[in-house]
Amino acid sequence: MSDFRVTLEAAWIVRDVASAADAVGIAVSECGKRLHPSAKFVDVDVLNSPCPHCGREITTATVAARTALVGLLLSMRVFDANSPEHAEKIALRVIGSALRDVPLSLFEIEEADGDEKGAGSGRNVSRPEDTA
């Protein structure tokens, strides 16, 4: 049995917002509130993607008709999982139960080091298919 750091991608909808920056702040705040107290150990971060034109990292937030779609990364450590697939199922169950009706998909699974204390930054994460 191993420990894994599982990162899920979430699509968060924010209504009645004027800018992408406001949408990001609201999405992170709302997500944190819904994760607390049952899953307060989940790290919430904003998903960054490369700009298709310049290659620079940009936040994934789009606003249309005062409604925004914000990409979030939700990362947690799963202890004593039988396999990466088992760790993914555990993370989906824990996070999904706190965030009902929020689309979730696997972003990355890493085998956790023994000295890790269970908290990670969730930054500089890449998709598994990007590294292959």
Query: What is the per-residue pLDDT for 59?
Result: 87
Specify the higher pLDDT residue, 129 or 47.
47
Work out how many domains the chain is built from and give that number.
1
Its domain, for residue 64, covers 2-114
Cα 69 from Cα 79, distance rounded (Å)? 32
In a domain, 82, yes or no: yes
Which of 48-62, 93-107, 112-126 is the most confident on average?
Answer: 93-107
In a domain, 101, yes or no: yes
What number is the average pLDDT over the span 33-58? 90
**Local structure of residue 126 (DSSP, 8 states):** -
In a domain, 126, yes or no: no
Specify the higher pLDDT residue, 51 or 111.
111
In a domain, 127, yes or no: no
Q: Which of 129, 132, 126, 128 is nearest to 49 (CA)?
A: 126
Maximum pairwise Cα distance, the chain: 48
Strands (E), the chain: 2-15, 43-46, 48-50, 57-59, 61-64, 67-81, 104-111
pTM over 0.75: yes
Q: What is the domain-level CATH number for residue 17?
A: 3.30.70
In a domain, 124, yes or no: no
